[in-house]
């Protein structure tokens, strides 16, 4: 399964982001807490450059809390301030503005010393598709202004939104890189819904999911699909066929694959994190990882 997806509007969005960085004080980099590294655009540092940044690990309610804390500390160690949030339910949102003020304290102090009145912080919200940008912005603005949708590619243009007296937000379309050098990253993104389902084979994705859960969350699989330890020892295809029969789909493994993916995305197998901190040494540029 080779996954590549780079619609033309994404190339345009990257140019627009680069052009409008000069108008903002800080960048909100939104990542999916279930895959904090894989859901980062590898061009992000090149695009954002030295602009102050706040990393927001969104969908924290769906992620393995133990792994999420490791990743939050990872970003802190890299020099970024990081917050764990759940924009859908509004958890952690109230910490964003105070944190921004702290990050920008020196700049705002200098402005005040020159007699300038405090201005609203202007922030750019950026991230890959379906990471929750529009939901976050609606929470901050407290209105359903930004378009939302549980599929990638909903936001197509840029818009400024006023979030109270302290914050103004610039929305941007999700930016994904042209291709995935590591197809595992593509599978992770696909499993969390960052890539349109019609661009991939759902049975291949379900096989990847079953292999991952068998290794890292076997109890969740056993509970959800009434499996035994012996069942989990089956090869991927055999396990998929077994679940297909148990769910009453006879030999319709494609339908079963779709159901498995839906249930994983919906949290029916519990919280999970696809990016395992202790396993991603190469992506972490040789940094030492700790359990």
**259 labeled part of a ligand binding site:** no
**58 labeled part of a ligand binding site:** yes
Q: Which tokens hold the place of 52?
A: 């102050």
Apex CA 270: angle with CA 267 and CA 273, to 5°? 90
- Which CA distances in Å does 290 have to 11, 57, 92? 37, 20, 26
SS3 159: strand
Pick from 80, 67, 69: which is nearest to 28 by CA?
Answer: 80
**278 labeled part of a ligand binding site:** no
**61 labeled part of a ligand binding site:** yes
End-to-end alpha carbon distance in the chain: 31
Residues 6+ apart with CB under 8 A from 139: 87, 90, 93
CB 106 within 8 A of CB 77: no
Residue with tokens 């992000």: 44
**134 labeled part of a ligand binding site:** yes
* CA–CA separation, 119 and 275 (whole Å): 38
CB 132 within 8 A of CB 59: yes
DSSP, res 149: -
**59 labeled part of a ligand binding site:** yes
**174 labeled part of a ligand binding site:** yes
**132 labeled part of a ligand binding site:** yes
CB 135 within 8 A of CB 141: no
* Neighbour tally for 207: CB within 10 Å: 21
* CA–CA separation, 263 and 261 (whole Å): 5
Annotated binding residues, as ranges? Answer: 58-61, 86-87, 130-135, 174
What residues are designated binding site for GTP?
58-61, 86-87, 130-135, 174
């Amino acid at each position: 399964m080779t996954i590549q997806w780079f619609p033309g509007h994404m190339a345009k969005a990257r140019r627009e982001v680069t052009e409008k960085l000069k108008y903002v004080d800080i960048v909100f980099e939104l990542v999916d807490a279930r895959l904090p590294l894989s859901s980062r655009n590898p061009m992000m540092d090149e695009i954002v450059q030295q602009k102050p940044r706040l990393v927001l690990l969104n969908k924290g309610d769906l992620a393995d809390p133990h792994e999420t804390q490791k990743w939050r500390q990872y970003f802190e160690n890299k020099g970024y301030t990081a917050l764990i949030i759940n924009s859908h339910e509004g958890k952690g949102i109230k910490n964003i503005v105070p944190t921004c003020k702290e990050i920008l304290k020196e700049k705002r102090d200098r402005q005040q010393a020159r007699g300038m009145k405090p201005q609203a912080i202007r922030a750019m919200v950026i991230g890959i598709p379906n990471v929750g940008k529009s939901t976050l912005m609606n929470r901050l603005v407290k209105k359903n202004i930004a378009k939302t949708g549980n599929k990638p590619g909903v936001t197509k243009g840029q818009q400024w939104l006023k979030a109270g007296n302290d914050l103004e937000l610039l929305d941007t379309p999700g930016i994904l890189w042209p291709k995935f050098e590591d197809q595992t990253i593509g599978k992770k993104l696909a499993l969390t819904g960052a890539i349109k389902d019609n661009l991939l084979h759902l049975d291949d994705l379900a096989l990847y999911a079953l292999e991952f859960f068998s290794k890292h969350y076997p109890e969740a699989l056993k509970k959800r699909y009434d499996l035994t330890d012996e069942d989990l020892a089956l090869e991927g295809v055999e396990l998929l066929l077994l679940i297909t029969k148990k769910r009453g789909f006879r030999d319709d493994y494609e339908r079963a694959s779709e159901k498995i993916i839906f249930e994983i995305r919906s949290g029916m197998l519990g919280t999970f994190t696809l990016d395992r901190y202790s396993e991603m040494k190469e992506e972490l540029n040789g940094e030492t990882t700790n359990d």
